[in-house]
Amino acid sequence: MKIYDRSEKKYRETEQYGQNKLQFLYGNVWGRCLLKLVITPAASKLYGQYQKLPISAKKIPRFIEEYHIHTEDFEDREYPSFHSFFIRKLRPGARMIDPRPCSLISPADAKLLVYDITDDLTVFVKGRRYTLSQLTGGKVDISAFGGGLCLVYRLCMDDYHRYCFIDDGTLTDSYAIAGKLHTVSPVSKDYPIYQENSRVVTIAETEHFGTMITIEVGALLVGKINNRQVASFHKGEEKGYFEPGGSTIVMLLPPSSVLIDEDIAAESRKGIECTVRYGEKVGTVFPLERR
């Protein structure tokens, strides 16, 4: 998979975490039979519990080496399990929140792809293609976002898995959508099993964007999406974190609210993700009074 590293201004190739295992699970009959067990909530819970055991800490040094983790960015302490390392915190000053009121910031270290919101838009998130109505569970009116932007932040295993609020504001609603297992015809040439991922949907009134929607998406074997319970928030304040596993944050912004930085916009038009960091500027906000 080719991505654009905006800090180094060059392209690089990345490999999906656990790619060989996923190819086995989805790519042959025996793997698909095993997948029926692997994808169950019980298996996910068992996997999550293992990551919290002291024995799992043995994975940390190899993980750091394989994914080139910059350990100097994080707290200097012992991690008793892989889970504790995965949800590690940054050391003070390791990420700077762009303070300019006109800056749209990234909520996380991630790979970003931006879409224009159209009536027929679908986005590919964690192995499943969704319409925006499906992503939000059909529980919220998204018609006001037509002509706006959909920002998909894909967090990989090597990314920092805590995320922040991108503006000052107040929460108006938040709800969880449980993941579901779907089985289609076993004689189909397509994968006979796919999962509707677990999601947490947040609707907020913000100072610079007006109404915005954020959807955190959990993937296969993700333990939990952890959001802080707050009524109001500030730009750069931690919103929550993901437990072990790949994760995605989807943001829906209303029309004429922001201009995405040109390098990100250009790569998104080609379907190529850009690397971004927690608190980094990714766009410029249009003042509400000028819309």
Which of the residues 109, 159, 167, 261 is marked catalytic?
109
Greater confidence (81 vs 45) lies with: 81
Confidence category of residue 160, pLDDT binned at 50, 70, 90: very high
- CA distances, 8 to each of 107, 167, 215, 278 (Å): 20, 27, 29, 17
Residues 58-68: what's their mean pLDDT?
93
**Catalytic status, residue 190:** no
Q: Sheet of 149-155: strands edge to edge?
A: 10-13, 2-5, 273-276, 110-116, 149-155, 247-253, 210-218, 199-206, 169-177, 232-233
What integer pLDDT is reported at residue 290 of this predicted model? 56
Is the model's pLDDT at 287 over the cut of 80? no
pLDDT in tens, 193-234: 456 788 899 999 999 989 999 999 986 544 489 999 999 999
Question: CB–CB of 121/150 below 8 Å?
Answer: yes
**Catalytic status, residue 158:** no
Domain boundaries, the chain: 2-290
Question: CB–CB of 11/5 below 8 Å?
Answer: yes
- CA distances, 150 to each of 34, 50, 75, 112, 126 (Å): 35, 35, 33, 10, 16
Residues 266-270: what's their mean pLDDT?
97
Confidence category of residue 19, pLDDT binned at 50, 70, 90: low
Report CA 157 to chain centroid distance, whole Å: 11
Which of the residues 247, 257, 261, 268 is marked catalytic?
247
- Which residues partner with 276 through β-bridges? 110
